[in-house]
Amino acid sequence: MSATLLSVEELRTQIKGERRATTVVDGVSFDLETQQVLALIGESGSGKTMTALSILRLVAPPVSISGGRVRYQGKDLLRLPDDEMRMLRGRQIAMVFQNPRDRFDPLRTIGDQLIEVLRHHGVAQNREEASRRALALLREVQLVNVERVMNMYPNEVSGGMLQRAMIAIAIAPSPNLLIADEPTSALDVTIQSEILDLLKKIETARSMSILFITHDISVARQVADTVAVMYAGQIVEYGPASQVLAEPRHPYTKALLASVPTPNADVLHPIPGLPADVAHPPPGCRFAPRCTSATVHGRASEPPPWVQTGPGGVRCWLYSEGGE
């Protein structure tokens, strides 16, 4: 039986404005097991990236974490001293960002930046050893002509190559947990598929857990063991990927699945309306203004409860009332 590596409990993150604070992550809870991929799914602006940054405490004013717990191997990361948290970042929990070009120093070669990470985390004791390990990492992420890549600058390689190099940097210290924030969204379909296959291979080979953030439910279908669906700062459905993606319960999850284009589809089925404004969320159920199954409760001022449904759960009045 796998053990829980990361447990997020009632996490809350706020952005302070001149007059009031906006809660952008509102009571988020989920568990990530060892050697498991959990996909955090939702539209842009739903709070997925802010959840990831909060887990790593990579937020700064006016953003602040206002409540909850983030337990990693039993330690609450939100209460660790700053020096311990800096030691843990990268070494035990690493992150791959959406646009790698924003994360590389354009004035230094890819090899120099990879060597720096290896030396900083004590993986290599000298530059010669670091160079050997860097070459091995570039091969592991399936780059070719790795000696040449080591001497190239970020602007000299394609987006797909640079994303592979970023993955190499992330896994260099052999972390237990990799947070991948939309790692394929800027890539074409062919390269996207290759990066997803690469991440699955790395997960298996290194016995690593992955928190995979995506707005693309078809991507989640390829990689996820567990799925958490996020809407307007809240988790609205959570459970095994085989359950959530095959028999979704929350109307938002159903709408996401229905909006995915298929080869035989005659028409697209977009979700009606606009995403909820987290600064001024609707009362009661936050999805109610867009929901075709909204009940009287769904439009009332009381928010829907979390209802356990087998190995997962759903935040919806339909199930608290005993059925659809």
What pLDDT is stored for residue 324 in this prediction? Answer: 46
Count of domains observed in the chain: 1
Phi then psi for 307, rounded to 5 degrees? -115, 125
Residue 296 placed within a domain: yes
Render each residue's pLDDT in the chain as its tens digit; 324 residues: 568 999 999 999 999 988 899 999 999 999 999 999 999 999 999 999 999 999 999 999 999 999 999 999 989 999 999 999 999 999 999 999 888 888 899 999 999 999 999 999 989 889 999 999 999 999 999 999 999 999 999 999 999 999 999 999 999 999 999 999 999 887 888 888 999 999 999 999 999 999 999 998 889 999 999 999 999 999 999 999 999 999 999 999 999 998 887 777 677 788 988 999 898 888 889 999 999 888 777 667 788 999 998 888 999 998 876 544
What pLDDT is stored for residue 294 in this prediction? Answer: 80
What Rg do the C-alpha atoms of the chain give, in angstroms?
A: 21
Containing structural domain, residue 285: 4-92+175-261+269-320
Residue 123 placed within a domain: no
Question: Where does residue 285 rank: exposed (0-12), middle (13-18), buried (19+ CB within 10 A)?
Answer: buried
Phi then psi for 126, rounded to 5 degrees? -145, 170
Q: How are strands ordered across the β-sheet holding 75-76?
A: 21-33, 4-16, 63-72, 75-76
Residue 242 placed within a domain: yes
The structure's pTM equals 0.93
Residue 295 placed within a domain: yes
* Residue 185, domain CATH: 3.40.50.300
Question: Where does residue 292 rank: exposed (0-12), middle (13-18), buried (19+ CB within 10 A)?
Answer: exposed
Listed in sequence order, the residues at least 6 apart from 263 whose beta carbon sits closer than 8 Å to its beta carbon are: none
Residue 68 placed within a domain: yes
| DSSP structure string for 235-271 | EEEEEEHHHHTTS--SHHHHHHHHTS--TT-SS--PP
Residue 131 placed within a domain: no
**Angle at CA of residue 218, ends 318 and 293, nearest 5°:** 20
Is there a contact between 113 and 125 (Cβ–Cβ < 8 Å)?
no
Residue 249 placed within a domain: yes
Residue 108 placed within a domain: no
What pLDDT is stored for residue 56 in this prediction? Answer: 97
Place of tokens 């050697």: 35
